Amino acid sequence: MSDSPPVPLRAAIVAVQLPDVDDRAFAASLAELHRLGRTLGVAVVATITQRRQTLHPAAVLGKGKLAELQALAGRSAAQGDDGDGDGEGDEDDAPDERAGDGFEADEGDRQADAAAVVSTPLPIEAVLVDHDISPSQARNLEKATGVEVLDRTAVILEIFRRHARSRAAKAQVEIVRLQYMVPRLREQGKGKDRQRGGIGGKGAGESSLELDRRKIRDRIAELTRELDALAEEQRTQRARRRDMSRVALVGYTNAGKSTLMRALTGSEVYVADRLFATLDTTVRPLVPATRPRVLLSDTVGFIDKLPHGLVASFKSTLDEALEAGLLAQVVDASDPNFERQLQVTTEVLAEIGAGDVPRLLVFNKIDRVGGTEAEESTTRTLLERWPEAVVLSARRPADVGRLHARIVAFFARDLVEGEVRVPYDRQQLRGEIFAACEVLGERYNDEGVIFLVRARPEMLERLQAA
């Protein structure tokens, strides 16, 4: 029996450049789908692109490009239809779709189209579409090519499903996956057979499609109840931390948040150089320890065109960002598209209601931009544009130390001095005082111990009332 690793699934990427998408954004989206494919364990062996005013309503691509995709799948147009479901060709689809769709076709465009299809010795086994497509479009593409078709949402959902570890993350992903499946049941050829009615066989009964939908609704309701119970536990945990200084790491997926989390806290959080390696929020205190203690949380990463359902489903996870006193927005400085990623993160934070939380911009992976000169030049450029940012590598202790100091200094601005009196019969409060406050001194009288502390105003007020 061979011990060789499994051969990855061969796939082709399909993408349509619409008029409102410039070349740079289009290239960035394609590159990102390549990375998503690799994260999914798929080998992308070909890419087919096309410029159109809109996605083809039947099969995303026009007839000419669809024929190229069929050839990659080892099929001819005669073995399938043109994706319309009518078995007939499209007269308006010229071999070069660009000119026919209102774009000025030039030699560069034609060369780009020619380079977009990479021949592969073996037929492809899947198609990844860099758009959210309708169930009928997916079905038509599958009929035309004979292989599985996944749109961008389906790819992201599958990655989330594989990476989810906790009960909460698994339930959240499963809810969105089921919601995604419901409108696609009809396109899977179900619902045509009918079952007999209830007692005595009266009534039309339910079709298998209706049964499947009801099962999915019941499963979603069950998962929602489970999530509500887990969310209540999370709210209780956050309530215990409400008076503490909290900073949340937020940012684009694979920006290095988990590596930074490990460096700042000394915790063994999961780290991997792939998209969406972290789907669960982890909370740990900063190390070296600070007084008052500062808690750091790692959160799920964002991505361009992140399905809205996933954002809504992971709302409880992202509440750590919403309730933090500071957001450390981590950006991959070595990524040429970091400005778009910065914009996406800002938009998602605004969507979940965290747009007004104070933010510290952290440019990570500066060690990956090139040699020493390139690193120094990039650092200067970044700081000229964002003077308050921190530019670092999470793998350099000195850089991490600078970020640690910035975080501590941010929360130190809000500390106030005060006294906390602790009776001798309540000395169990000492541990909480030393964890939540900077103790400047203590003295004793007949009634108990008086601590002189620096703490957050709300924490000081709570300890004084205890």
pLDDT tens sequence across 159-208: 888 877 778 778 888 888 888 888 887 766 544 444 444 334 444 445 77
pLDDT of residue 241: 57
pLDDT of residue 367: 93
pLDDT of residue 319: 66
Q: In angstroms, what CA-CA distances link 54 with 13, 60, 149, 150?
A: 18, 8, 19, 19
Read off the pLDDT band of 409 (50, 70, 90): very high
pLDDT of residue 149: 93
Dist CA 329 CA 406 (whole Å): 13
Q: Which are the contacts of 322, defined by CB distance < 8 A and separation ≥ 6?
A: 352, 353, 354, 357
Average pLDDT, the chain: 79
Query: Is pLDDT above 50 for 97?
Result: no
Share of the chain above pLDDT 70, in %: 76
* Model pTM score: 0.72
Dist CA 368 CA 362 (whole Å): 15
Q: In angstroms, what CA-CA distances link 71 with 64, 74, 94, 107, 246?
A: 11, 5, 17, 24, 55
**Residue 13 · residue 46 · CB < 8 Å:** yes
Query: Is pLDDT above 60 for 116?
Result: no
Helices (H) and strands (E) in the chain, counts: 16, 13
β-bridge partners, 364: 332
Q: In angstroms, what CA-CA distances link 202 with 130, 208, 319?
A: 48, 17, 50
Query: Is pLDDT above 90 for 459?
Result: no
Please provide the size of the chain in residues.
Answer: 466
